[in-house]
Amino acid sequence: MAVATVTDWTRARPQPSWLARLLDYKPFLVVACLLPAVGLLTVFLTYPLGLGIWLAFTDTKIGRSGVWVGLENFEYLMSDPQFWSAVFYSIFYTAVATFGKFGLGLWLALLLNNHLPFKSLLRAIILLPWIVPTVLSAIAFWWIYDPQFSIVSYVFVDVLGVRDKYFDFLGTTWPARWSLIAANIWRGIPFVAISLLAGLQTISPSLYEAALLDGSTAWQRFRYVTFPLLLPILAIVMTFSIIFTFTDFQLVYAITRGGPVNSTHLMATLAFQRGIAGGELGEGSAIAVAMIPFLVFATLFSYFALARRKWQQGEAND
Amino acid sequence: MTDVPAAETKGSATAVPEAMAWDNRARRVVLLYVPLACFVLILLFPFYWMTVTSFKPNAELYDYKTYNPFLIGSPTLDHIYKLLFQTAYPRWLLTTMMVAVASTTLSLLSSVLAAYAIQRLRFRGSQYVGLAIYLAYLVPPSILFIPLATVVFQLGLFDSPLALILTFPTFLVPFCTWLLIGYFKSIPYELEECALIDGATRLQILRRITLPLAVPGLISAGIFSFTLSWNEFIYSLAFIQSSEKKTVPVAIITELISGDVYQWGALMAGSLLGSLPVAIFYSFFVDYYVSSLTGAVKE
């Protein structure tokens, strides 16, 4: 009798259905949660990455599966001056544009770090070049670089009277190369400035006060307080910037399409021209694969050269 | 050595002589406002030029001698009219919008689940999965588009918007997952423990506790994904062939540029209209956008 009352007390727990139990089973849940993301990335990122490396060693063309040709594609590219010109310009473009973006971006970040009226509005305006589709602002630059109706030429020739001839921005090799770099810097400044501004705002004002009390000059405060504390963020932003500048495609494709006389091809646009437009998938992949060592090197360099200080200081900050 | 600067700072903190105050103000103008104004001017000029060009009649557009190129003499809607009614522009805009919304939704869904699994379910090796997803973000589309084109072709998706919807997550998912992991990390784990003790299932916890607290993160990730997919170029260029299925950035480059004579008015109008949706969308959520940008960098 007593036993019966005891069983009465323990009210039958509502048994969850098998589906609910399955959904609460951790290993199943982990797999189910990771499946969409990992599935998408495997099919459309990891597999193509491997396939691209394989394609680089074949003579695949559009509409025809190729056979293994070993290093033939690379041997051909080695003797191709156009490829070397693209390699050179990619490195040059990345180096100069990164230098410009970071120099000007850091300056802008330092300016924005002051007390300013309408600060958030200013920040919003400054990010605009970064928001707007690159191709669309590139077309605007193309129009600004027009040989006959360039507004820049108009200002220099007709308003200021400094020059007597309109600039030929995109007609010859070096002016075209510099024009593209200028457009890239223009587009990159906002991202660098806003990210570095976030870094600047994490630096405690008391450090500056201490430095000020010790009698430091503005330059010393920048050199010994701001810069070292900014380095970790600088390293990450620079890694991203280098990767995406080196593999830039849109700007060049929209403004010059690699011209004049193929002198402004970056490796990505050359890969597109040979691989998709020309149909030589194997050769295009070889050019794309040739970018990988540069990217790995640039990433390691910018990361270790700059982030090294972080672990030297022993910060337990992930 | 230490006395002199201390005296100086003391001096500036108390009464400042009038000449020095003026000097300070002038200094501030020269070192701060002038460079800042230059930056803003240069960063905004292309947009101004875009706008001016799209509302100028052709006569003014190509005649700098009689008209001041910086101003519009008699504004016209000709270019915009031509763009909207004589080209497939509305169609392109619609396609772009659809692709951007669909790929954003898809990426957000899969990244929320992935970030939750990595950050909250804490299985063995979850750090490595997180690291792998982060590394995926470092693979630029320029390396992938050729092999992806063959994959898309094999799947029979070539020239279909579905190809874009499925390939855009390759750069959206890593970013969103990374951002959301950071957000989930900031939500106290104790809240979930309490819910677990109260008998909530894991999915209930995700839906009732974690997600509502991570709404700012979700919005940031959503805006970022939307703008990134709106701006995407290389995949859309490589995978879409027929004119009416193109996205705005690709269509402007390949369809609006016909022959040797560039219709600058229409081109600029097209760029302006193509930039407006993202710009408007962005202006509503600037703070989320900035925080996602900077939050992702700080993580």
In a domain, A317, yes or no: no
B35 contacts in chain A (CB < 8 Å): 107, 111
A148 contacts in chain B (CB < 8 Å): 62
Going by the DSSP 8-state scheme, the letter that residue B120 receives in this structure is I
Q: Which of A125, A132, A151 to mutate to test the interface with B (most CBs of B within 10 A)?
A: A132
Instruction: Report yes or no: A30 and B114 within 8 Å, Cβ to Cβ.
Output: no
Mean pLDDT for chain B overall: 82
Reply yes or no on whether the pLDDT at A193 is more than 70: yes
Please tell me the distance from the alpha carbon of residue A284 to that of residue A121, in angstroms, as a whole number. Answer: 44
Of B116, B143, B267, the CB nearest to A139: B267
Of B70, B146, B270, the CB nearest to A52: B146
Q: How far is A269 from chain B (nearest CA, A)?
A: 9
Q: Do A120 and B231 touch (CB under 8 A)?
A: no
Of A24, A236, A250, the CB nearest to B201: A24
Reply yes or no on whether the pLDDT at B98 is more than 90: yes
The reply to whether A87 and A198 lie within a common domain is yes
Q: Do B146 and A281 touch (CB under 8 A)?
A: yes
Q: Which of B58, B71, B146 to mutate to test the interface with A (most CBs of A within 10 A)?
A: B146
Q: How far is B143 from chain A (nearest CA, A)?
A: 5
Reply yes or no on whether the pLDDT at A106 is more than 80: yes
Listed range (A236-240, B1-5, B32-36, B139-143) with the worst mean pLDDT: B1-5
- How many separate domains does chain A show? 2
Instruction: Report yes or no: B117 and B123 within 8 Å, Cβ to Cβ.
Output: yes
The reply to whether A163 and A233 lie within a common domain is yes
A143 contacts in chain B (CB < 8 Å): 49-50, 53, 264, 267-268
Confidence at residue B21, expressed as pLDDT on a 0 to 100 scale: 59
Q: Do B169 and A123 touch (CB under 8 A)?
A: no
In a domain, A69, yes or no: no
B111 contacts in chain A (CB < 8 Å): 37
- Among chain A residues, CA nearest to B236: A250
Return the number of CB contacts < 8 Å for A and B. Answer: 284
The reply to whether A49 and A85 lie within a common domain is no
Of A34, A52, A120, the CB nearest to B143: A52
A134 contacts in chain B (CB < 8 Å): 231, 233, 249
Q: Do B140 and A154 touch (CB under 8 A)?
A: no
Confidence at residue B205, expressed as pLDDT on a 0 to 100 scale: 84
Q: How confident is the model at residue B6 (pLDDT cuts 50, 70, 90)?
A: very low
Of B174, B202, B282, the CB nearest to A24: B202
Q: How confident is the model at residue A117 (pLDDT cuts 50, 70, 90)?
A: confident
The reply to whether A185 and A267 lie within a common domain is yes
A104 contacts in chain B (CB < 8 Å): 39
Q: How confident is the model at residue B106 (pLDDT cuts 50, 70, 90)?
A: very high
The reply to whether A50 and A175 lie within a common domain is no
When comparing pLDDT for B295 and A34, which is higher?
A34
A14 contacts in chain B (CB < 8 Å): none
Q: Do B150 and A60 touch (CB under 8 A)?
A: yes
Instruction: Report yes or no: B170 and A46 within 8 Å, Cβ to Cβ.
Output: no
Q: Do B35 and A111 touch (CB under 8 A)?
A: yes
Q: Do A144 and B238 touch (CB under 8 A)?
A: no
Confidence at residue B192, expressed as pLDDT on a 0 to 100 scale: 84
The reply to whether A217 and A294 lie within a common domain is yes
Q: Whose structure tokens read 């036993």? A: A3
Residue range B194-234, pLDDT digits in tens? 888 888 888 888 888 888 888 888 888 888 899 889 989 99
In a domain, A185, yes or no: yes
B136 contacts in chain A (CB < 8 Å): 41, 45-46
The reply to whether A210 and A125 lie within a common domain is yes
Q: Whose structure tokens read 């630096």? A: A203
Q: Do B279 and A23 touch (CB under 8 A)?
A: no
Instruction: Report yes or no: B113 and A34 within 8 Å, Cβ to Cβ.
Output: yes
Average pLDDT over residues A150-163: 83
A43 contacts in chain B (CB < 8 Å): 151
| DSSP for A10-61, written as a single string | SPPPPPPPHHHHHHT-HHHHHHHHHHHHHHHHIIIIIHHHHHHHHHTTB--B
Residue range B241-289, pLDDT digits in tens? 888 888 888 888 888 876 666 788 888 888 998 888 888 888 887 777 7
- Among chain A residues, CA nearest to B112: A33
Mean pLDDT for chain A overall: 84
Confidence at residue A101, expressed as pLDDT on a 0 to 100 scale: 94
Listed range (A5-14, A60-69, B174-183, B247-256) with the worst mean pLDDT: A5-14
Confidence at residue B166, expressed as pLDDT on a 0 to 100 scale: 92
Confidence at residue B105, expressed as pLDDT on a 0 to 100 scale: 94
Domain that holds residue A30: 17-55
Nearest to B120 by CA among B173, B52, B188: B188
In a domain, A101, yes or no: yes
Reply yes or no on whether the pLDDT at B236 is more than 60: yes
Q: How confident is the model at residue A93 (pLDDT cuts 50, 70, 90)?
A: very high
Q: Do A237 and B117 touch (CB under 8 A)?
A: no
Listed range (A72-76, B77-81, B120-124, B261-265) with the worst mean pLDDT: B261-265
Listed range (A105-114, B130-139, B287-296) with the worst mean pLDDT: B287-296
Of B42, B46, B111, the CB nearest to A140: B46
Q: Do B275 and A189 touch (CB under 8 A)?
A: no
Of B61, B138, B151, the CB nearest to A51: B151
The reply to whether A165 and A263 lie within a common domain is yes
Of B140, B227, B271, the CB nearest to A139: B271
In a domain, A286, yes or no: yes
- Among chain B residues, CA nearest to A195: B294
Q: Do B139 and A108 touch (CB under 8 A)?
A: no
Domains of chain B listed by start with CATH number: 18-76 (no CATH), 80-298 (1.10.3720.10)
Confidence at residue B258, expressed as pLDDT on a 0 to 100 scale: 67
∠ CA B241-B230-B169, rounded to 5°: 85
Looking at chain B, the number of H-run helices and the number of E-run strands are: 18, 0
Q: How far is A93 from chain B (nearest CA, A)?
A: 16
The reply to whether A83 and A121 lie within a common domain is yes
In a domain, A73, yes or no: no
Please tell me the distance from the alpha carbon of residue A68 to that of residue B82, in angstroms, as a whole number. Answer: 51
Q: How far is A142 from chain B (nearest CA, A)?
A: 10
The reply to whether A135 and A41 lie within a common domain is no
Residue range B57-85, pLDDT digits in tens? 888 878 777 777 888 878 888 888 888 88
Q: How confident is the model at residue B9 (pLDDT cuts 50, 70, 90)?
A: very low
The reply to whether A97 and A217 lie within a common domain is yes
Q: Do A128 and B2 touch (CB under 8 A)?
A: no
The reply to whether A179 and A141 lie within a common domain is yes
In percent, how much of chain B has pLDDT > 90? Answer: 19
Nearest to A271 by CA among B155, B168, B257, B148: B148
B265 contacts in chain A (CB < 8 Å): none
Q: Residue A85 belongs to a domain with what CATH number?
A: 1.10.3720.10
In a domain, A316, yes or no: no
Listed range (A11-15, A73-77, B243-247) with the worst mean pLDDT: A11-15
Reply yes or no on whether the pLDDT at B4 is more than 50: no
In a domain, A62, yes or no: no
